[in-house]
Amino acid sequence: MKHLVEFQDLSVQFRTEEGVARAVSHVSFGIAEGETVGVVGESGCGKSVTALSLMGLLARPAGRVAGGRILYRGQDLLTLKPEVLRALRGNEIAMIFQEPMSSLNPVLTIGEQIVEPLIEHRKLSPKAAWAEAIALLDRVGIARPDRIVEGYPHQLSGGMLQRAMIAIALSCGPRLLIADEPTTALDVTIQAQILDLLGRLKRDQGTALMLITHDLGMVAELADRVVVMYAGRVVETGPVRDILRQPKHPYTRGLLASRPVPGRRLKRLVSIPGQVPSPARLPDHCAFAERCFAAAEVCRTGIPALEPAAAPHRAACFLAQSGAI
């Protein structure tokens, strides 16, 4: 499959008071044209850092790409000049950030923030850009867009802010859209509306979507493939149906077991015991071994690699690869 974007052996590090934090280690996966790939895992597993590396938005000087490549249509984004990357960012590649209130400029109206990329990338006149901003807000389901376009972020509800963020991201018709926890802090009804909106945009525009989330229900609804990350590494990847029905890695099994299921009565919620190790103190063996229900001696002899690339469903687990679990 020809990929629109491909992460090849990506590693990202941050300098911290504890030492060098390995936020992402040797991550490899691709996203094809029009495909939705769900990237899942607990907080701190490297999902957002992977996306920010693609966008060229790592916090510097503390953060840096320590190795690997990020190819977009065959170009290595990590080698592009800043002005070339800026021309792609917001135009061909767009991102919906996790916290719209902190991502939007509080002193600019919603319309001014949508108009900016329309003038910069699509070269529209201010008048045409303003009309397009109203049309975009209408398209993402905001009522009375001609009034909302003149409002400030603090005047909008959480759901409206998220829709405005999506309108900004879609303003230039990107080929790749990164959605980082797009329903965080929204109530269930608004979550469903945002998911429906993303699904419609994917169908109507054929936009490739990198969906970063810890919500496996969202992945089941929208994704074609899944990438499961733990402690900065990809531990399992494959078609969404295979991952959800027959997970190979104990971590993926733990994630699936811990999600609430409607109609299933539990005395208490199931959880994965223990804590994610600090990225500044990662072990030299499988990082999940101390939390794993099936860990054996072999799990502390080294770091398991993903199975051969020819397999559509792969796991980085010694026991899964040997058939022991």
In the prediction, which pLDDT does 183 show?
82
Asked if pLDDT for residue 25 goes beyond 90, the answer is yes
Average pLDDT score, the chain: 91
Asked if pLDDT for residue 263 goes beyond 70, the answer is no
- For residue 269, what is the domain's CATH number? 3.40.50.300
In the prediction, which pLDDT does 222 show?
92
Look at residue 181 and tell me if it is in a domain. Answer: no
DSSP-derived secondary structure letter, 159: H
Per-residue model confidence as pLDDT tens digits over 27-81: 999 999 999 999 999 988 999 999 999 999 998 889 999 999 999 999 999 999 9
In the prediction, which pLDDT does 152 show?
96
Look at residue 202 and tell me if it is in a domain. Answer: no
In the prediction, which pLDDT does 189 show?
81
Per-residue model confidence as pLDDT tens digits over 173-227: 899 999 998 887 677 887 888 888 888 878 888 899 999 998 888 899 899 999 9
pTM higher than 0.85: yes
Beta bridge mates, 30: 6
DSSP-derived secondary structure letter, 257: H
Per-residue model confidence as pLDDT tens digits over 222-259: 999 999 999 999 999 999 999 999 999 999 999 998 87
Look at residue 120 and tell me if it is in a domain. Answer: no
CA of 47: how far to CAs of 27, 41, 50, in Å?
10, 7, 5
Per-residue model confidence as pLDDT tens digits over 88-138: 998 999 999 887 778 899 999 999 999 999 999 999 999 999 999 999 999
In the prediction, which pLDDT does 264 show?
63
Look at residue 95 and tell me if it is in a domain. Answer: no
Number of domains the chain is built from: 1
Look at residue 134 and tell me if it is in a domain. Answer: no
CA of 74: how far to CAs of 7, 53, 245, 253, in Å?
11, 17, 34, 35
Asked if pLDDT for residue 283 goes beyond 70, the answer is yes
Mean pLDDT of 10-21: 95
CB atoms within 10 A of CB 275: 10
In the prediction, which pLDDT does 90 show?
87
Distance CA 257, CA 267 (A): 14
Distance CA 119, CA 169 (A): 14
In the prediction, which pLDDT does 236 show?
97
In the prediction, which pLDDT does 217 show?
85
In the prediction, which pLDDT does 120 show?
92
Look at residue 193 and tell me if it is in a domain. Answer: no
- What contacts 219, CB < 8 A, 6 or more positions away? 38, 40, 211, 213, 226, 240, 244
Q: How confident is the model at residue 262 (pLDDT cuts 50, 70, 90)?
A: low
Domain that holds residue 233: 3-80+212-322
Contact 231, 215 (CB under 8 A): no
Look at residue 185 and tell me if it is in a domain. Answer: no
Look at residue 279 and tell me if it is in a domain. Answer: yes
